[in-house]
Amino acid sequence: MMRIVRQLLGAAIAAAVIASPAMAEELTGTLKKIKESGTITLGHRDSSIPFSYLAGKPEPVGYSHDIQLAVVDALKKQLGTDIKVRYNLVTSQTRIPLVQNGTVDLECGSTTNNVERQQQVGFSVGIFEVGTRLLTKVKDGQPAYKDFPDLAGKNVVTTAGTTSERILKAMNADKQMKMNVISAKDHGEAFNMLESGRAVAFMMDDALLAGEMAKARKPADWVITGTPQSYEIYGCMVRKDDAAFKKAVDDAIVAYFKSGEVNKSYEKWFMQPIPPKGLNLNFQMSEELKKLIAEPTDKAADEKKS
């Protein structure tokens, strides 16, 4: 009798182990690193308003940062442990190398998912969609420079290490426009060059341009204009070929979308006054973003439309 009881008990324990995904699957890669260290390092920006930026405190804030924190909460539940968050400032130039070398575990900011970058890092499902356009001065109620052909021979600023920089330089060469393309270190410096008159236009993602315009001394003096030169989907970056961690991040973002929390975050950062100056971007959610939230994909914009 005792032997039968022991056999039944052993079978029950074995079944419980098999039924538990956490026990059945051995952690690898970033998930293992986070579990063992009890820490996750989040990459953030300092001036990508309203996605990821600093507003007078050491911790970042913004739409993309809300998504990062939702991922961390999901990882706590998945790993069954508390996770300490460390922050690491990144720039357009350093964000990919810092993810690649393990300094940053997850970067959610304003990073475009494209085929070229997919060779270097992994991308989550998309978190935002934008068009690359121009910010320029208002003159007599109209944009001083309405579209890209008007910029021939002019000083035009963009941010170094971005897809806008690559597109603008390619346009300048292909169409022989003789623009003086200025590459600023970040979006804040680019807008300062525009506002001080050192450039006549600033090319960047339209949502980021709205953020820069909102913090201007006189926001009404500026306008977003021009035919979009590309459509960009932002994603959160993870290390390449870490399928388990990417799935955990994707699952967390999809759950965040389905819960409706993403709509609350959008309303907070794009349709209400935001820190540090209490400015309102009044940037309505696009149909493209609504579709991305309803039908999440980790494809780049050019892949999705091809």
Taking a C-beta distance cutoff of 8 angstroms, is the pair 230, 167 a contact? Answer: yes
Statement: residue 267 has pLDDT above 60? yes
Q: What is the pLDDT of residue 303?
A: 75
Buried-exposed string 282-301: b where 16+ CB fall within 10 A, e elsewhere: ebebbebbeebbeebebbbb
pTM of the entire predicted model: 0.84
Q: Please give the full DSSP string across the chain, using - where no structure is assigned.
A: -HHHHHHHHHHHHHHHHHH-HHHHS---HHHHHHHHHTEEEEEE-SEETTTEE-SSSSS-BSHHHHHHHHHHHHHHHHHTS--EEEEEE--TTTHHHHHHTTS-SEE-SS-B--HHHHTTSEEEEEEEEEEEEEEEEEETTEESS-SGGGGTTSEEEEETTSHHHHHHHHHHHHTT---EEEEESSHHHHHHHHHTTS-SEEEEEHHHHHHHHHTSSSGGGEEEES--S-EEEEEEEE-TT-HHHHHHHHHHHHHHHHHTHHHHHHHHHHSS-BTTTTB----PPPHHHHHHHHS---S-HHHHH-
Q: Please give the full DSSP string across 45-67, using - where no structure is assigned.
A: -SEETTTEE-SSSSS-BSHHHHH
Give tens-digit pLDDT for 195-226: 999 999 999 999 999 999 888 889 899 999 99
Q: How does residue 25 score in pLDDT terms, banded at 50, 70 and 90?
A: low
Q: How does residue 22 score in pLDDT terms, banded at 50, 70 and 90?
A: very low
Q: What is the pLDDT of residue 19?
A: 42
Token readout for 50 is 């309203």
- What domains are there in the chain, each with its CATH number? 31-129+233-294 (3.40.190.10), 131-232 (3.40.190.10)
d(Cα 301, Cα 266) in Å, to the nearest integer?
21
d(Cα 159, Cα 120) in Å, to the nearest integer?
20
Taking a C-beta distance cutoff of 8 angstroms, is the pair 146, 225 a contact? Answer: yes
Average pLDDT, the chain: 91
Q: What is the pLDDT of residue 24?
A: 40
Statement: residue 306 has pLDDT above 90? no
Q: What is the pLDDT of residue 142?
A: 95
* Burial class of residue 36, CB neighbours in 10 A (0-12, 13-18, 19+): exposed
Q: What is the pLDDT of residue 15?
A: 47
Residues in contact with 87: Cβ distance below 8 Å, sequence separation at least 6, in sequence order: 41, 42, 44, 58, 59, 60
Q: What is the pLDDT of residue 61?
A: 98
Give tens-digit pLDDT for 107-145: 999 999 999 999 999 999 999 999 999 999 999 999 999
